[in-house]
A and B are shown apart, each in its own frame.
Chain A
Amino acid sequence: MTAVRTACYHCGETCNNHAIALDSKIFCCDGCKLVYEMLHEHGLCEYYQLNDKPGVSQRMQVRRDKYAFLEDAQIRQQLVQFRDDTQTHITFYIPHIHCSSCLWLLENLHRLDAGVQRSTVNFARKEVQVVFLQAQTSLRKVVELLAAVGYEPYISLQDLQHKKRPGVNRSLVYQLGVAGFCFGNIMLLSFPEYFSGPEGMDTVLFRYLNLLLSLPVFFYSAQVFFRSAWKGITHGFLNIDVPVALAIGVTFVRSLVDVLSAGGPGYFDAMTGIVFLMLAGRILQEKTYQGLSFDRDYTAYFPVAVTVINEEQETPVALPDIRTGQTLRIHHNELIPADGILVKGEALIDYSFVTGESAPVRRSIGEIIYAGGWQLEGNIEVLTIKEVAQSYLTSLWNRQELQQAEDKPASFIHLLGRNFTAVVLLVAIVTAAWWAFYNPARIWPSVTAILIVACPCALLLAASFTNGHILRILSRHRLYLRNAAAIERLADTDHIVFDKTGTLTGKHSAEVVFYGQPLRAAERLQVAALAAQSTHPLSRMVRAYCGESTLPVTDFASHTGKGISGKVQGNSIQLGDAAFTGAGADGDFTGSVVYLAVNGQVRGRFSVRNGYRAGIRQLFGQLRERYALSLLSGDHNGEAATLQELMGPGATLRFSQQPQDKLDYVLQLQAKGQRLLMIGDGLNDAGALKQSHTGLSLTEDSNNFTPASDGILEAGQLLLLPRFIQLCRANKRIILASFIISLAYNITGLFFAVQGALSPLTAAILMPSSSISIILLTWGLSEWAGRKLRQPLPLMADKDQLPG
């Protein structure tokens, strides 16, 4: 109950004793209060009415001149979309956009800054397009305004290179629309032909209309198939689109000849119908997830500019312009963009994203600092020794192996389609030979009819619809695959490689253990109250361990790099490193340690380490029966024994692995012909993820940034992995089953075709009924196979706890 009463009016987070009251509302921090005041002043408080507590916590203040680089004309030029003498158009990516309040506030920006002319939100892409007048405001001011109201745009190095974000392929949708229109009308206009009865009516007009309507389908909508077929042929690979294009072409020519020679109505409805359905299948299969990107490289993580110190002057410089020998100032909570030597300040760097090491490392003056780490405490200065593109981490991306076009194996569908076509061509030749002997006049109708009927479109339809359904079922369970080919590769997996930090261990499952004199309940709350004052990750973990507390803290002091101290209920409490608390270095402990001193007396230490995700034991229990397992960890081997026991005696465990080592290990296994599934989460896995047969990147929240991969999996769903792979296997079986059923239709059609007696009516009935039944079948079977994902995991939380 207390939590509800003390929730911040702006962001909904629990307020501790620092709560600020204003207008009978409570705020957790000055930042949230400032946003409220600003909105209140401009009459924008509807923001709080649309949704309850819609804001994002403002405890982390934005540095004052963080956006100074936007004053630089060259950088600005590269970021904006359009600029003339008066206006600038720019699109920002704002990860915080999450509700209608966000939408409302962002579209009312003009009320906060008169220079903003228009702002339009694209909710699905989490983007806002802003049009502003340079005369009245500036890019920097707009960005700072956005940051001030809690919607800080995410501007990364990638934006400088103007990489296009993936979108829906619109031309495919147009093609579908045109095909649908023509198909519908042709079907309607064919009715007089089919149902006019023996006395008949003059249908020549209808035939020519059909011919006219089929032209856009043949020359525009079916282009996709012709192009793909041509590309296949020029690359010496007969893909499934080759026989499909052949069938479409033959149908069109045969129908054209029929109509022009007044020999019959042609098969226009069958042709347009199949093009329409195949396009629909293709669109379904090419589903894109807006807001997710599978192609991120280091540029998506790196800032646009960094502060360079030149003769005591701070100037923002765009990252590509950083040269060696320059002094960079890295502020609190900023990313280190280039390798360098620490020349000023005390560095505490979180390298977990680069190396997988879970604990932040301390570096002192004179030591080399690698790009990609986050500076956690205070400001430092770094003398660059390498340019951004040549830095250790970034050079991984510029490796030759990774630049090559993907030569991942082709789908089994193409092979199947090829065999199918070969059989059909054989039937056509035999039929031709037969009629050449008995009645040469029937060669043309029968052979063309065979080629029409024998279009492997049922196979293509089965494949594209099944893939589309499976992708959707997987995304419903928060596994987002890049494309349909990834389903097949995932199904073929025989070796699974795991990363440890962030993959097997979770950010939210950190384990804190206290060693020393046991704390009384009251003392725990006092420690919690002190720890709540700091946003340091270790403080947060200690607080989570000690419980919720709103006791008042006095004399609070934060000693950067050392610890925090304060008085709670008369006890002066210190939390920090050994020297700070006076504990002295008494032994080496793995993981991060926070010492506790009460009234100058050391009481003990909190040992913090990331715990394994719940259910890991069970996951490995299932996986080790079917797959070879490996673990590549950037961490030390402190937990080797536990992990070996978890993963089974057959598993390979490697520790202290650099990103390069991970990539090499993947290459080594691939050389042995193993089909790898790599599961990782950080930049340190990026090379391995990209090289693997299938790379899945794990994320706590799908809005977060993930390295380039074939799929993005939400961390909570990791336990479903065996079922995901199972479903991908089912995918292939469903396609095959549908194909076999469609063969029955094909054989029926062939029965008429070889006799040269395939009437347009038969084709008109056979084609849509077979296609639609295949579509329904694939949908039903996919849902049936996907139902297993919904079943609860037979998991006993208690039994699953790992020994501490």
Chain B
Amino acid sequence: MSVIILLLGASLTVGLTFLAAFIWSVKSGQFEDDYSPARRILFDDAPATEEKQHNAITKQ
């Protein structure tokens, strides 16, 4: 029986963690704009384009 109580506590804690994560994600507006985050992540690591290299050369 005590094992069950332990498991109950564990499962409820896990559940609560996910509930908290859900509320946080809604609060931070993650469901409001489903377009820009997916694009934004690609920008910084985008490979240097010809244009950029060209700029770099002209600046030098």
Contact = CB atoms under 8 A, between A and B. Distances in A.
Nearest to A184: B15
A181 B12 CA distance: 9
Interface string B6-47: 001001100110110011001100011111100110110010
Given A168-B32, A177-B23, A185 B12 contact: yes
B35 A124 contact: yes
Interface residues of A, number: 32
B39 A100 contact: yes
A290 B40 contact: no
A40 B55 contact: yes
A188 B8 CA distance: 10
Contacts of B18: 181
B39 A103 contact: yes
Interface in A320-341: none
A67 interface: no
A574 B35 CA distance: 49
23 contacts: A40-B55, A45-B49, A45-B52, A45-B55, A49-B49, A100-B39, A103-B36, A121-B36, A122-B36, A123-B39, A125-B33, A168-B32, A170-B26, A170-B27, A174-B23, A174-B26, A177-B22, A181-B19, A184-B15, A185-B12, A185-B15, A189-B8, A209-B8
A122 B33 contact: yes
A363 to B, nearest CB: 45
A205 B5 contact: yes
A123 B27 CA distance: 18
Main secondary structure of the interface of A (DSSP, over half): helix
**Which 8 pairs show the lowest CB-CB distances between chains A and B?**
A45-B51, A123-B35, A100-B39, A123-B36, A181-B19, A49-B49, A124-B33, A43-B55
A630 B40 CA distance: 50
A202 interface: yes
Interface of A: 40, 43, 45-46, 48-50, 100, 103-104, 107, 121-125, 167-168, 170, 173-174, 177-178, 181, 184-185, 188-189, 202, 205, 209, 290
Contacts of B39: 100, 103-104, 123
Given A125-B33, A168-B32, A184-B15, A46 B51 contact: yes
Given A46-B46, A123-B36, A125-B33, A177 B51 contact: no
A123 B34 CA distance: 8
B1 to A, nearest CB: 7
Given A100-B39, A121-B33, A290-B32, 19 more contacts: A40-B55, A43-B52, A45-B49, A45-B55, A49-B51, A50-B46, A103-B36, A107-B43, A122-B36, A123-B36, A123-B39, A124-B34, A173-B26, A174-B23, A177-B23, A177-B26, A181-B16, A205-B8, A209-B8
A568 to B, nearest CB: 37
B32 A124 contact: yes
Contacts of B36: 103, 121-123
B25 to A, nearest CB: 10
Contact of B40 (A49, A103, A189): A103
Contacts of A174: 23, 26
B18 to A, nearest CB: 8
Nearest to B37: A123
Contacts of A181: 15-16, 18-19
B31 A46 contact: no
Contacts of B11: 185, 188
